[in-house]
Amino acid sequence: MTDRLPGFNTLAIHAGAAPDAATGARATPIYQTTSFVFDDVDHAASLFGLQAFGNIYTRITNPTNAVLEERIAALEGGTAALAVASGHAAEFLTMHALMQPGDEFVASNKLYGGSINQFNHSYKNFGWSVAWADNDDPAAFEAAITPRTKAIFCESIANPGGVITDLAALSQIAKKHNIPLVVDNTMATPYLIRPFEHGADIVVHSATKFLGGHGNSIGGLIVDGGTFQWAGDPRYPMMSEPRPEYSGMVLAETFGNFGFAIACRVLGLRDLGPALSPFNAFLILNGIETLPLRMQRHSDNALTVAKHLSQHPAVSWVSYPGLETDRYHQLAKRYTPNGAGAVFTFGLEGGYEAGVNLVSNLQLFSHLANIGDTRSLVIHPASTTHRQLTDAQKTAAGAGPDVVRLSIGLEDPADLIEDLDGALSA
């Protein structure tokens, strides 16, 4: 092949993979092993001392997981990646590498409910604090920054409302204050949005959702953009200061533009342990091979269903940036020209009770707490995923009492519309 970079569809199938050298197997094997044999004591010492790359123990590295890591780094346009046990684990290990006790970060107020709970409650045990900012007002992010702020966090397309975030505006603020912009790209995937192209420094994923795409595996990913200068910055000692675990090695100096990914692996994953099963890595890899086909169909189907619901008498509003009347449509045209994704919300005239009744009467839609499946999914966030939040937090997160969230799958859209019409009538 020439020096031309392969296209997205090609990378989704081939990046990081090759026929197995030992057997010739074309599909990436599942290396279902806890540990790996060393050549000799010097080889072992070089691996443990980070003088050589290789496999020691599956909690830290595994050949199946490595293919997944290389593939997502290629698709996102990053320098390196780390596969972990879940999207929550990806967020946690990212913040573990960035934060010290007493530190803060600024987060968008439009996030997945589980992230809001994690940030508000679990992180307090580590002495980390979150300041919330209005996703629609970049100035609010800047106003919340203090000398202890170590990052800005947002979702490229926010769950549950399908809100498009102005990543370039947040990147300008992050760069002005010399802090990294961390973007959860779960809802968009790199097929719809590549956050590094808009100024992000770190990308995280719940690979459980659209990357895996079949509702059969849980996993998370951290992608290093290689854009933030950690070296010499005392605010980020995990990367910039000598590490006693590795004979005084400074990770940012030794590993350069993928030093953050290394820190997450050898200082976070190694000690905290949320490792991804090689079998789940295999399933997610297989899902990614069809990612561009699925994401386009997801988006096309979602637009068809959203247009129908926007005209339904029982529906008071629809929030989907693919609609020309939506307040985020211009941002969608800018950031997601291939489509606005699979997930959107709508409000019912009957409020909370109408939402509960709707999900109870649907037949084709599955009522469960997930998104990104080949199947169409439905949930009433106020009574489920966002139930732990206050009413004000629910409304701010786009999960008010009348809100229903749909994750549109790959079925025929006419069948989805028929199912919704029947449940709305009931």
pLDDT digits (tens, 9 = 90+) for 13-59: 999 999 998 899 999 999 999 999 999 999 999 999 999 999 999 99
Among residues 327, 416, 297, 354, the alpha carbon closest in space to that of 318 is found at 327
pTM: 0.95
The model's pLDDT over 109-127, given as tens digits with 9 standing for 90+, comes to: 999 888 999 999 999 999 9
Q: Please state, in angstroms and rounded to a whole number, the distance separating the CA atoms of residues 137 and 266.
A: 37
Quick one: what percent of the chain has pLDDT higher than 90? 88
The model's pLDDT over 238-296, given as tens digits with 9 standing for 90+, comes to: 999 999 999 999 999 999 999 999 999 999 999 999 999 999 999 999 999 999 999 99
Give percent helix, percent strand, percent coil of the chain, each to the nearest 5.
40, 15, 45
Residue 69's alpha-carbon distances to 63, 278, 288, 372, in angstroms, are 10, 12, 12, 20
Arithmetic mean of pLDDT, 372-394: 84
Q: Any idea of the CA torsion for 175, 259, 98, 68, to the nearest 10 degrees? A: 100
Check: CB of residue 381 under 8 Å from CB of residue 319: no
Among residues 108, 179, 119, the alpha carbon closest in space to that of 147 is found at 179
Confidence (pLDDT) at 356: 86
Among residues 36, 17, 37, 39, the alpha carbon closest in space to that of 28 is found at 17
Q: Please state, in angstroms and rounded to a whole number, the distance separating the CA atoms of residues 53 and 33.
A: 18
pLDDT reading at 161 higher than 60: yes
Same fold, 10-287 and 291-425: no
**Averaged pLDDT score across all residues of the chain:** 95
Of the pLDDT bands very low, low, confident and very high (cuts 50, 70, 90), residue 400 is confident
pLDDT reading at 227 higher than 80: yes
Structural domain boundaries of the chain?
10-287, 291-425
Q: Which two tokens stand for residue 166?
A: 């102005």
Check: CB of residue 342 under 8 Å from CB of residue 372: yes
343 DSSP β-pair partners = 407
Confidence (pLDDT) at 394: 77
For residue 310, give the amino acid letter: S
Higher pLDDT, residue 347 or 398? 347
Confidence (pLDDT) at 377: 97
For residue 90, give the amino acid letter: A
Q: Which of 155-164, 176-185, 198-207, 376-385 has the least mean pLDDT? A: 376-385
Q: Which two tokens stand for residue 233?
A: 């910055």
Up-side HSE of residue 229: CA atoms within 13 Å toward CB?
A: 5
Confidence (pLDDT) at 399: 76
Quick one: what percent of the chain has pLDDT higher than 70? 99
DSSP state of 35: B
Q: Beta strand pairing status for 366-367 and 377-379?
A: parallel
Burial class (CB in 10 A: 0-12, 13-18, 19+), 5: exposed
Q: Please state, in angstroms and rounded to a whole number, the distance separating the CA atoms of residues 212 and 283.
A: 7
Higher pLDDT, residue 368 or 392? 368
Residues in the chain: 426
| Secondary structure (H, E, C), 302-321 | HHHHHHHHHCCCCEEEEECC
pLDDT reading at 2 higher than 80: no
CATH of domain 291-425: 3.90.1150.10
pLDDT reading at 204 higher than 80: yes
The model's pLDDT over 126-143, given as tens digits with 9 standing for 90+, comes to: 999 999 999 999 999 999
Confidence (pLDDT) at 426: 85
Among residues 7, 28, 8, the alpha carbon closest in space to that of 16 is found at 28
Confidence (pLDDT) at 162: 87
pLDDT reading at 396 higher than 90: no
pLDDT reading at 299 higher than 70: yes
Rounded to 5 degrees, φ, ψ at 62 are: -155, 140
Confidence (pLDDT) at 391: 77
Confidence (pLDDT) at 384: 79
- Give the position of tokens 């006693």: 244
What's the CATH fold of domain 10-287?
Answer: Aspartate Aminotransferase; domain 2 (3.40.640)
pLDDT reading at 1 higher than 60: no
pLDDT reading at 387 higher than 80: no
- Give the position of tokens 């940012």: 252
